Chains A and B, each alone.
Chain A
Amino acid sequence: DTGVSQNPRHKITKRGQNVTFRCDPISEHNRLYWYRQTLGQGPEFLTYFQNEAQLEKSRLLSDRFSAERPKGSFSTLEIQRTEQGDSAMYLCASSPTDRGDTGELFFGEGSRLTVL
């Protein structure tokens, strides 16, 4: 399978714990995006990378959130000191830059976080 892969698919944690999600994009895709989706809402943009450079971060991404893409391949999203309001589906997507700004995003299946 050469699609976008996310791990873990489900994570249950207690408030105050740290969690980390991993995303493996489609191999030839330069751009990688993180979105968050809560029940009944559309995905909300968090941040995106072009290769290893983090080009934009949403105001939604508080200081407790950090994302990295150290070698321009896989990416991690870490949430420190989790709060119940962090419970959501975290979606990763990738796209190739050769399609400019019009190309589709390829989404993974998401990592669902539940904070107790």
Chain B
Amino acid sequence: SQKIEQNSEALNIQEGKTATLTCNYTNYSPAYLQWYRQDPGRGPVFLLLIRENEKEKRKERLKVTFDTTLKQSLFHITASQPADSATYLCALVGGGNKLTFGTGTQLKVEL
């Protein structure tokens, strides 16, 4: 069956360090993958999209990689700040722009 896995345990890091979140998937062949941020009690907010023919995408302090051979995407936040604390969701894009989400990883950036 299709499965999208993200680190289920919260990731705690110190301010200024780089946070790396993992998204692994099985039984999918997505052409696109998206990352969203979700704060408690709020809806997800789009961050980045990466295509299967792109190895890496950057936006300000964010970097996403997409390895279709390993079936994995990595999401990096450099120079992390307490304001980056949130849950980060990866999502595979299907037909009709329908998204299938992972369970999300909670990130806590401590002072």
Contact = CB atoms under 8 A, between A and B. Distances in A.
Interface stretch (B12-20, B65-73, B76-84, B100-108): B100-108
A108 interface: yes
24 contacts: A31-B97, A33-B99, A40-B103, A42-B6, A42-B89, A42-B91, A43-B89, A45-B98, A55-B96, A91-B44, A93-B43, A95-B97, A99-B97, A100-B97, A101-B93, A101-B97, A102-B32, A104-B49, A105-B97, A107-B43, A107-B44, A107-B45, A109-B42, A109-B43
Interface residues of A, number: 29
A104 B59 CA distance: 15
Contacts, number: 68
Nearest first, the 9 A-B pairs at minimum CB distance are A42-B101, A107-B43, A104-B46, A101-B97, A43-B101, A42-B103, A107-B44, A109-B43, A42-B104
A104 B34 contact: yes
A42 to B, nearest CB: 3
Best-buried of A55, A56, A102 by chain B (most CB within 10 Å): A102
Contact of A42 (B31, B49, B94, B102): B102
A108 B38 CA distance: 11
Interface residues of B, number: 27
A45 B100 contact: yes
Contacts of B97: 31, 95, 99-103, 105
Interface of A: 4, 31, 33, 40-45, 48, 50, 55-56, 91, 93, 95, 99-110, 112
Contacts of A41: 103-104
Given A48-B98, A101-B96, 5 more contacts: A4-B43, A42-B101, A43-B99, A107-B44, A109-B42
Interface in B28-77: 31-32, 34, 41-46, 49, 51
A4 B93 CA distance: 20
A110 B103 CA distance: 17
Nearest to B94: A101
A43 B89 CA distance: 9
